[in-house]
A and B are shown apart, each in its own frame.
Chain A
Amino acid sequence: MSPEVSRFQLGERVRILDLGKPGHVRTPLYIRNKIGVIDHVCGDFESPEERAYGRLNGPRIPLYRVRIMQHEIWPDYAGPKQDSLVIEIYSHWLQRA
């Protein structure tokens, strides 16, 4: 895991990255490369990408809830424009947008 950890502020615009990383990742395909806003700062957690393989008690990394508009996720989304989705993303999958 990279030693430098990015921290984000509430309301900050972020892009969810596509790290192309194999294994037990918690960033679903449908949300990669989408832009949203930090909706909640959840705190720091051990990475499930490590824990899943028995590497416990590793460094804790920040987890955020990111809110993305449905029309950003699905260009042909059928509902009104204010509909949104909130998803938990670890900091190394995020970049300022």
Chain B
Amino acid sequence: MTPHEDHDDHHHDHHGHDHHHHDGHGHAPHPAREDDDVELTYEEARFLALKAMLVETGLITADEVMRRLAVNDLGSPHQGARMVARAWLDPAFKERMLANPKAAARELDIAVTEAELMVIENTPETHNLVVCTLCSCYPRSLLGEPPAWYVSKAYRSRAVREPRKVLREFGMDVPDSVEVRVHDSNADLRYMIMPLRPPGTEGMSEEQLVALISRDSLVGAAPLSAS
């Protein structure tokens, strides 16, 4: 774990943050607490042992771990919603965001930890949906920790196989005239969806718009409405 911008990562390091919560015990960001009287899972025990060894041998310091956890905790769907609301209101910002999402995030003082980010815009012709079929890749600095459904095997397998049925279960009936485009976040990029601005939001302030934008809509999994 390095304090500088790294590959996230989830694919390569398998640090304790990203294990899949097989056991339903899945409290996300912090792996285990002293007063947690639930027995540690195998993965949690392994994570704690590994961390202790890395600190003991001086390869990392406990301070570095704490600093990285603090950075991780800054990620929340509020950050992604801020970007989208600004993009709805400011076409020049939107262009910059689509061209270089990391630079656009920095304009809003968002600390980006991902190596590569991509923002994909929904249009009247194309609805976009993100899934990581291989694990749980997610743009954490913009959206926080992924929800349980995103890392579930059911979502990871069904989103690529029957995306329209999955979307209907999320309350979204995409007309047959619209393309559903699924993005498998399987390698180095992390994706956020820019939802369509819902009708009836004309004249709303940036703060009001931010409050409308749900986490799931930033993954492409939920519709937005003005209320």
Contacts and interface: CB of A to CB of B under 8 A. Distances in A.
Interface stretch (B54-62, B95-103, B186-194, B203-211): B186-194
- Of A73, A74, A83, most buried by chain B (CB within 10 Å of CB) is A83
- Of B160, B184, B186, most buried by chain A (CB within 10 Å of CB) is B184
A17 interface: no
A85 B184 contact: yes
A88 B160 contact: no
A24 B188 CA distance: 13
Interface residues of A, number: 30
A90 B11 CA distance: 15
A24 B164 CA distance: 30
Interface stretch (B33-41, B44-52, B84-92, B175-183): B175-183
A54 to B, nearest CB: 9
B117 to A, nearest CB: 12
Contacts of B177: 80
B184 A86 contact: yes
Contacts of B179: 80, 82-84
B119 to A, nearest CB: 13
Given A26-B186, A42-B189, A48-B12, A85 B181 contact: yes
Contacts of B176: 79-80
Contacts of A86: 181-184
Nearest to A86: B183
A52 B187 CA distance: 12
B217 interface: no
B68 interface: no
Contacts of A27: 186
B184 A87 contact: yes
A51 B188 CA distance: 12
Contacts of B12: 24, 48, 51-52
- Of B12, B116, B133, most buried by chain A (CB within 10 Å of CB) is B12
A27 B188 CA distance: 12
A48 B189 contact: no
B186 A28 contact: yes
Interface string B134-169: 100000000000000000000000001111110000
Interface of A: 24, 26-28, 30-31, 42-43, 45, 48, 51-52, 63, 65, 67, 70, 73-74, 78-80, 82-90
